[in-house]
Structure formats: structure tokens, C-alpha cells
Amino acid sequence: MRSFGSFLALSGAFTLAACGGDTGPQTVGGIAPPGGSTPTPTPANFLDVTSTTTFDVVGSFQTLDTTTTVSTPAGGGTPTTRVASLYAGNAATVNAPNGSISYNPRDGIFTVRFTDNAANVTRTYNYQDPAHRTQFSGGQFASYQIPNLATFNYLQVLEGNAQPVFFYQRPGATRADGSKASTFVSLAGFSRVEESQTTTPPANPATDPTVTATNFKGERGAFVFGQKTPFNQVPTSGEGTYRGDFLASMVADPTGGGRSTMQWISGDSSVAVKFGTGQVDLTLTGTVGPAYVQGATVPSPIAAGTSFTARGTAQVNLTGKGGFTGVFTQNTGGQQNVGFGSGASFVGVDFASVSAGGPTAGASSIDGGFFGPNAVDVGGNIRIVGGIPDQRVDILGAFTGTKP
């Protein structure tokens, strides 16, 4: 097994809990009011509401800000190029969300707010124009640097030179294998790319160079939002298996000193819960998408189409954590728990934490919660940070699942 080091930074638990709203959160589960009134019907899905409802965004966000400066000598000659970049990423916890999504069913309006200072992502968008709902085709997915996900709705607004897109999975959508997506929590993503260029003419054309600076800023997020299960409806015995989807964004420079690429990873999730002991086993399997550098697709050490696997374990703690928390399993003893490819071609991610035995300083996290009546759905976020020195690897993502 080849070690790929700091090659994963999955951004963790993005569970979204309903909170607040213009008239407070909607009721999940029918509980008969006193006096023999008509019971409140169970909604068909978490967006089946009668008034504006606000949901917590629990997920992970990242920003890659790159400036490429090209200096062309006076009178021609070979230009010199310098690349400088700054990266920031963060994964929220269930009890400390990093945004909110409000849905107004009367007018079909989504108001999306992201407030993640650690990831340098603070945005508010009001998707109120019917034309904000859009369908991308062909090369448009590459142009906006978003994944082509069959069961998702896409919304886009105009913001100067930027191209912000919010996309979410339709509740209860039919997946490729014929199964249904979760109905009380949605997997969602966000992408915003902005590019600008300035040219500084020489003060003295005879001796001074012409300097052109191109700035590219990419912001991404993967998260969940939905109607959380009241703690008293989460089972305390038995077992449950949830199957669904996952989405992650990876920033990677595994060689050190090169240009960092941004790649989406999408696929399936499997969550096994032992409610009696609180043990949660998470398995993610997916496929890596194209690599982007400054708005263009480029070759990558982890090529588009490469498979991805991540296995981890968490523990339920409703009162302390609001759901379940855990970490991913290291690739020790020849195991292939977290990495790319399989068999002899497996490229493992070294995310070992700081210890006296080596120079690595990686990390991983799993944060999730239960959604819908009687914990029928799960959702959360993940993060895997590669720890090998001089590399930049960070994968931040989210997952959902529903009982068959």
C-alpha cells in the first residue's frame, strides 16, 4: 500500500436541525392536541411546511485563495511566474452549526446564510426569483465547478464576477439503485468561484517588466439541513441501518510546493447504529471528480474516476453532543480504511494525529444526528486532514441516510 499522506481533509458533521423560523419550527410526528382536536398530520417531508421555517446548516466549508503573478521582462524574454495561495477549512458540530437555511413555502423562497469565520466563508443569498432555479447541462457543470448530481435541485444568483450556486437533494428522490433518498434531511452543497486580473504597466518600458496578477478565489461547502428528531424519539434499544448519499470537496497538493487542486467526491453512505450501546459505524464509498486549478481542469495525482473509501466509528451522545461524534479508522496493519483505489493500487491517507513517534499532524472527525419521526433518517458531516509535512490535503463533506 502506498501512503499518500496528508491527502484527505473530510469536513465533518453537517447535520441540520430545524430552529426558529418566522413562526417556530414545524411539528414532526402527529400528537393529538388536548380536547379531541384533529391530530397534527405528519409532513410528507421536512419541506412540507405551512409557514417559513428555518433549519440549521451543519457542515463543512473551505476557501482557496490563489494569486498567480507573471512578470514579463522589458523587450521580451522569458516571463517568471510566482504562485501564492492561502487555504482555510472548517467543519461544524451539531451543537455549533455554521449557517441556516430558511424556506418560505408560500413564495417558494430559499434564504441561505453561511457564517463560518474559520473557513473564511460568510455569505447570504435570497433565492426568490423563479429564474434562480436552473438546470445545468454539459460543460456548464465544469464552468461553475459543481458536480452533476441527478437527484439534486440547483439554484444560482448573479453576484458581480462571482458564480455562487446552492444545490440540494430533493427529499425522497429516487436514487440510481431504485431506493429512496432521505425525506427529513437533505444533503446539500455550495460553490462560489471568482476570478479577476490586473496588469501593471512598466514605469519605464525600456527597463521595467510588465506584471500581470490573476486572483482566483474558490469557496465550497457540503452540509445537511433538515428536521431533527426529538431526543425522546431516538430508540434506546435495537439496531438500525441507514443508506444514502455523501458529498465532499477535497483540496489537495500531495507533492508539496505545487498548485492545490479542488475536486468533488460523491457517492454512497452506509450508517449502522446499535442503539443499545450507542455505537455508530460509518462507511463512505464514492468517486473522485475532475481537478480544478484557477477555473480550469488539470491533471491530478488522484485522477477523475478514482474510487474513494472511508470507514469510521462514532458514539451517540444526545445530551452532550446533540447526536453522535467520532473519527475515521487509520490504515494500520495493511488495512485499507481511508484512501483511493483498491487492492495493489490503493493510495492511503495518512491522517495520524500528533505523537512522539513521527512528524505527522493529521486529524479526522465525524459529527451527525438523527432526523424525522422516530429517527427515520440520519445526517452529518466528516473531515479528514492529511498530516504529512509540506502537503496540503483536506477533505470536507457530508452524508445522509434513511432506513430501507
Which residues neighbour 75 within 8 Å (Cβ) at sequence distance 6 or greater? 206
**Are 274 and 285 a contacting pair, CB within 8 Å?**
no
Q: Give bridge partners of residue 370 from the DSSP assignment.
A: 378
Q: What is the pLDDT at residue 22? A: 40
**pLDDT tens digits for 78-128?**
999 998 889 999 999 999 999 999 999 999 999 999 999 999 999 999 999
Tell me what percent of the residues of the chain surpass a pLDDT of 70.
89
Mean pLDDT of 173-195: 96
For the entire predicted model, the pTM comes to 0.87
Sign of CA dihedral 166, 398, 351, 337: negative
Q: Give bridge partners of residue 387 from the DSSP assignment.
A: none
Alpha-carbon span 24 to 99, nearest angstrom:
17
Torsion of CA 352, 287, 244, 368, to 10 degrees: 30
Alpha-carbon span 98 to 113, nearest angstrom:
9
Local confidence band at 40 (pLDDT 50, 70, 90 cut-offs): low
**Are 323 and 280 a contacting pair, CB within 8 Å?**
no
Show the cell assigned to 32: 393529538
**Are 146 and 139 a contacting pair, CB within 8 Å?**
no
Q: Where are the beta strands (DSSP E) in 107-238?
A: 109-116, 121-127, 133-134, 152-156, 165-169, 185-200, 210-226
* CA 260 to chain CA mean position, Å: 18
Alpha-carbon span 364 to 356, nearest angstrom:
19
Q: What is the pLDDT at residue 314? A: 99
Q: Give bridge partners of residue 65 from the DSSP assignment.
A: 86, 217
Q: What is the pLDDT at residue 300? A: 86
Alpha-carbon span 382 to 222, nearest angstrom:
9
Q: Which residue has the higher pLDDT, 27 or 296?
A: 296
Show the cell assigned to 163: 458564480
Span of 8-22, 288-302, 329-343 with lowest mean pLDDT: 8-22
pLDDT at 152 over 60: yes
CA-nearest of 251, 326, 307, 264 to 93 is 326
Q: Give bridge partners of residue 277 from the DSSP assignment.
A: none
**pLDDT tens digits for 321-362?**
999 999 999 999 889 999 999 999 999 999 999 987 888 889
Alpha-carbon span 103 to 357, nearest angstrom:
50
Amino acid making up residue 356: A
DSSP 86-145: EEEEEE-BTTB-SEEEEEETTTTEEEEEEEEGGGTEEEEEEE-SGGGEE---TTHHHHTT
Alpha-carbon span 262 to 144, nearest angstrom:
13
Local confidence band at 31 (pLDDT 50, 70, 90 cut-offs): very low
Q: What is the pLDDT at residue 299? A: 87
**Are 57 and 124 a contacting pair, CB within 8 Å?**
no
CA atoms within 13 A on the CB side of 301: 25
